[in-house]
Amino acid sequence: MVEVRLTPVEWVVLLVWLANGRLRGGMVLQKLGFLGVMEAGGCRLEYIPSRYTPFSVQLAEGVREAKEGGLLRVYTVSSRGGAYTVYVFELTPEGQRLYRESVGRLEREARVPQGDEEARGALGG
């Protein structure tokens, strides 16, 4: 297993990137982050139980910082039928650049051989 050391902002950018640059739903983001933490280990996100999904304050702060830093566009849409509001997260070009830089750094730290597709897949590349 590759130990992943990402900041909360990098986690947010990685999770949205893995959803093809656009992720719909705050709970989805939190659940994917939780699963990533469980799989990767060695990261800085702590999760607490909440009503619908494990919740990370650090990941929520990462969303805020990514938005304020121009890495992420966050907006809301109405659900089908308009019963509730859903958050949508989209990477900006600057967020895409950060993703590429972060993966490059992780590859160097992990010393992943270029041909090791299984390890590269664990990094989201």
Contacts of 35 (CB under 8 A, 6+ apart): none
Secondary structure (3-state) at 70: coil
Domain 8-105 has CATH 1.10.10.10: yes
* pTM as predicted: 0.78
pLDDT band at 2 (very low <50, low <70, confident <90, very high): low
Q: What is the gyration radius of the CA atoms in the chain, in angstroms?
A: 15
Please write the tens of the pLDDT for every residue from 62-86. Answer: 999 999 999 999 999 998 888 889 9
Q: How many CA atoms lie within 13 A of 44 on its CB side?
A: 13
Domain residue limits, the chain: 8-105
HSE-CB of 75 using CA atoms within 13 angstroms: 7
